[in-house]
């Protein structure tokens, strides 16, 4: 059966959107998913299902989460092979870049059109490199300070559609643990 990794967006950010990892796991199991595991309390979820469609898996999880929590939990689903390839690509980019102080990966529900991807990459600066790869945007800072502004900006982020970010290190650990 296919294995999927789901990334939940905007949970555990305050008192109104709490969704502890044990509750995430229980909701997924209640929806019929098997092999359910979580990593950290930031919405990283491994599930196995007969469903092959990423969209169907995402829809089923979102419905289960809304029933459990009473609020919408946007969810982005990757097949394990796709996530593994994306994580390996992120590691290669980091190796080519040399020293990075921060490396985030914005995970997208949909792959951006070529013109939008070019616009994203065009936002790169000498200190911040942006690279679109499939359904992700690699964001790499050679020098980072607390409070750095999102290099995508709110307008461009909206045009990219539903997304959630994780550090490259978290994604690497997910692939290592669940691979």
Of 25, 57, 73, which residue sits at a domain end?
73
Confidence class of residue 14 from pLDDT cuts 50, 70 and 90? Answer: confident
Specify whether 88 is located in the same domain as 172: yes
Backbone angles phi, psi at 68, to 5 degrees: -70, -40
Closest to 139 (Cα-Cα) out of 172, 97, 177: 97
Q: Which residue has the higher pLDDT, 11 or 77?
A: 77
Q: Are residues 99 and 149 in the same domain?
A: yes
Residue 38, pLDDT above cutoff 90 = yes
Q: What is the pLDDT of residue 119?
A: 97
Residues 64, 127 within the same domain: no
- Same domain for 157 and 116, yes or no, is yes
Q: What is the pLDDT at residue 96? A: 94
Structural domain including 9 reads: 3-73
Closest CA to 61 of 109, 116, 101: 109
Do 19 and 54 lie in a common domain?
A: yes
Q: What is the side-by-side strand order in the sheet with 3-8?
A: 34-39, 44-48, 3-8, 75-79
Among the three residues 73, 90, 109, which one is the final residue of a domain in this structure? 73
Query: Which DSSP letter does residue 13 get?
Result: S
Averaged pLDDT for residues 120-133: 96
The tally of domains found in the chain comes to 2
- Whether 135 and 105 share a structural domain: yes
Examine the domain organization and report whether 93 and 152 are in the same domain: yes
Q: Are residues 101 and 159 in the same domain?
A: yes
pTM: 0.94
Alpha carbons 66 and 115: distance in angstroms, whole number = 34
pLDDT in tens, 45-77: 999 999 999 999 999 999 999 999 999 999 999
Please check whether residues 105 and 35 belong to one and the same domain.
no
């Amino acid at each position: 059966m296919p294995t999927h990794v789901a990334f939940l967006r905007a949970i555990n950010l305050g008192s109104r959107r709490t969704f502890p990892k044990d509750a995430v796991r229980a909701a997924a199991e209640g929806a019929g998913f098997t092999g359910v595991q979580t990593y950290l309390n930031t919405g990283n979820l491994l599930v196995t299902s007969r469903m092959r469609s990423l969209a169907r898996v995402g829809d089923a999880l979102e419905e289960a989460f809304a029933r459990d929590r009473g609020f919408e939990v946007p969810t982005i689903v990757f097949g394990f092979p796709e996530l593994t390839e994306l994580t390996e690509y992120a590691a290669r980019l980091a190796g080519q870049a040399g020293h990075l102080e921060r490396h985030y990966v914005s995970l997208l529900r949909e792959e951006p059109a070529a013109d939008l991807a070019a616009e994203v990459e065009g936002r790169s600066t000498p200190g911040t490199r942006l690279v679109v790869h499939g359904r992700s945007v690699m964001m790499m800072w050679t020098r980072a300070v607390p409070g750095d502004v999102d290099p995508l900006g709110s307008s461009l982020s909206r045009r990219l559609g539903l997304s959630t970010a994780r550090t490259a290190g978290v994604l690497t650990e997910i692939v290592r643990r669940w691979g």
